[in-house]
Amino acid sequence: MTKGRRRYKRGYPLAVLVGLEERRAVLWRVFSEVVKLDGTVERGGEAEREGPYDFHESIVNALRPALKEGVKSIVIAAPARTDYTAHLLDHIRKHHAWLVREGPSAAAFGELVGSAGQPHEVRELVRTKGFRDAIGETTSRDAESIVATLEKSLDSDDSGTVVSYSLEEIEDLVYGRHGQSSSIPEHVVVTNKYLADTKDRGRIQRLLQISKNRGIKTTIVNAETGAGIRLSQLGGLVCLAKPNRKNRE
């Protein structure tokens, strides 16, 4: 029971906050209720002798677990009058274009002036309007990208994406109840309103957790955003899957 209450208080994932400093980057998982430390990337060697490439690569690698889980909103915070954010984003554009190029793998990056290396700094930062605006902007862009993929699949039979709407059908896909399914689930999307109002919250939470365990992306979208309104029109719960080509051969 205690573990269940702790998960409920944490809320649903919104974004990753990256606090950039000269010699390190501190990553925080931003949930709807709390912000939790996710890890620290230290810059090895003497700063004046070491190039930034390895440091930036380590930051990207530290972001991969969250990205794999479907958290695509990244807010980068750095102190005023520094160019840490600009250099990191330039590195990502040059060496990881898949993160910024339009498509299902893209992330939404936001910039924020402020320090986010220590818990007390993060507590102060999350209370600011700038932080709320940055989170709102990146999560909205992330959700819009998901809906764009969804709309494309609805408009064309050749999109390569299969869309499922019912809880039972999505459970069958994720749990593999029918053996080798005709579709392979890739992304489960649900609105926060659906999650709050459903009588099947336990089933939904289990579905989301097992999806994560099996490498299926999961995203919880704010129902009040444009993307959330569109998802609500479709029922509030959607699974994007790809055809199982082996099953067709």
In a domain, 115, yes or no: yes
The Cα 176–Cα 174 span in angstroms is 6
**Residue the block writes with tokens 């390569």:** 160
In a domain, 150, yes or no: no
- Statement to judge: residues 26 and 130 lie in one domain: yes
In this prediction, residue 32 has a pLDDT band, given cuts at 50, 70 and 90, of: confident
Instruction: Give residue-wise pLDDT tens across range 136-188.
Output: 888 888 888 888 888 888 876 666 678 899 999 999 999 987 655 568 898 89
Question: Which pair of tokens denotes residue 45?
Answer: 């060697």
CB pairs under 8 A, 24+ apart, for 92-101? 92/56, 92/60, 95/56, 95/57, 95/60, 96/60, 99/60, 99/67
- Statement to judge: residues 134 and 164 lie in one domain: no
DSSP state of 99: G
Q: Which amino acid is at 34?
A: V
- Statement to judge: residues 171 and 139 lie in one domain: no
- Statement to judge: residues 86 and 194 lie in one domain: no
The Cα 83–Cα 39 span in angstroms is 22
Question: Which pair of tokens denotes residue 103?
Answer: 């498509």
- Statement to judge: residues 244 and 186 lie in one domain: yes
- Of 21-30, 167-176, 237-246, which gets the smallest average pLDDT? 237-246
Residue 220 · residue 150 · CB < 8 Å? no
Question: Which pair of tokens denotes residue 67?
Answer: 């990205």
- Statement to judge: residues 174 and 135 lie in one domain: no
Q: For position 81, which CATH number holds?
A: 3.30.420.60
The Cα 21–Cα 25 span in angstroms is 6
- Statement to judge: residues 103 and 172 lie in one domain: no
- Which residues are CB-neighbours of 17 under 8 A, at least 6 positions away? 27, 28, 29, 30, 35, 75, 77, 116, 122, 125
- Statement to judge: residues 29 and 112 lie in one domain: yes
- Which residues are CB-neighbours of 81 under 8 A, at least 6 positions away? none
Q: Of 90, 116, 143, which residue constitutes the final position of a domain?
A: 143
In a domain, 154, yes or no: no
- Statement to judge: residues 241 and 166 lie in one domain: yes
pTM of the model: 0.74
- Statement to judge: residues 184 and 116 lie in one domain: no
- Structural domains of the chain, count: 2
Looking at the DSSP assignment, which residues form a beta bridge with residue 215? none
In a domain, 15, yes or no: yes
- Statement to judge: residues 10 and 112 lie in one domain: yes
Q: What range does the domain containing 216 cover?
A: 160-248
Mean pLDDT of the chain: 86
**Residue the block writes with tokens 């709309």:** 151
Residue 145 · residue 219 · CB < 8 Å? no
Consecutive H or E run containing 207: helix 201-213
DSSP state of 32: S
Looking at the DSSP assignment, which residues form a beta bridge with residue 77? 19, 112
Burial environment of residue 27 by CB neighbours within 10 A (0 to 12, 13 to 18, 19 or more):
buried
Instruction: Give residue-wise pLDDT tens across range 56-99.
Output: 999 999 999 999 888 889 999 999 999 999 999 999 999 999 99
Higher pLDDT, 206 or 154: 206
- Statement to judge: residues 137 and 164 lie in one domain: no
In a domain, 113, yes or no: yes
In a domain, 148, yes or no: no
Q: Of 95, 113, 143, which residue constitutes the final position of a domain?
A: 143
Q: For position 231, which CATH number holds?
A: 3.30.1330.30
CA distances from 160 to 30, 67, 240 (A): 32, 22, 10
Residue 216 · residue 162 · CB < 8 Å? no
Instruction: Give residue-wise pLDDT tens across range 116-130.
Output: 999 999 999 999 999
- Kindly state the average pLDDT of the residues 20-25: 94
